[in-house]
Amino acid sequence: MRTRPAAAAAIQPVCPAPISDELTAEAKEIAVRTFSALGLYDCARVDMRMDADDKLYVLEANSLPSLGEHGSYLVGAAHVGLDFAAFVNRLVDVASARYFGTPQPPSVDAQAADPSQRGLRVRHPAPRRHGAFAAAVGGGLKPHR
């Protein structure tokens, strides 16, 4: 059995980030522009750092973010009401719509994320090591055309 260092186990992801609505909108815009500029599809995690003046800087775009059942990307998926199975199904639906031209799946957003209203079970993944502000592109799950 693989164990994690004590320091990694102590880190608790926070989603959504405790920042202003204005800064959240800016982070989303930067994430979407980064996603588009790099020609990414289906999902990606755009990691950013914020300085003391609340200026955001892109560190990297990860087109294969931690997609495992306890990966860091699932923190954002849980925020929009998707457990692991629903997240994987969402990825398949979005990729299928892009690749095969099947109907677009409905949008997923935090306002519609109350799992008690949709019958979804949200499991909060185990904490993972991270140090960057991660901005998911539209929940990370909208198709790019």
For residue 142, the model assigns a pLDDT of: 38
How are beta strands 56-62 and 45-50 bridged, if at all?
antiparallel
Looking at residue 3, its pLDDT comes to 60
Joined tokens for residue 43: 């999902």
Q: What secondary structure letter does DSSP report for 69?
A: T
Q: In the CATH hierarchy, which top-level class contains the domain 19-140? A: alpha beta
Would you state the pLDDT for residue 145? 42
What averages of pLDDT result for each successive group of 10 residues across the chain (145 residues)?
Answer: 60 87 96 96 93 96 88 89 92 92 79 44 34 36 39
State the CB neighbour count (10 A cutoff) for residue 32: 16
How crowded is residue 127: how many other Cβ atoms within 10 Å of its Cβ?
A: 16
| Domain spans of the chain, in order of start | 19-140
> What's residue 9's pLDDT?
61
How confident is the model at residue 47, as a pLDDT? 93
**Amino acid 37: pLDDT:** 97
pLDDT of residue 109: 67
pLDDT in the model for residue 6:
61
Instruction: Report how far apart, in Å, the C-alpha atoms of 66 and of each of 43, 59, 100, 141 are.
Output: 11, 16, 25, 14
At 26 the pLDDT is 97
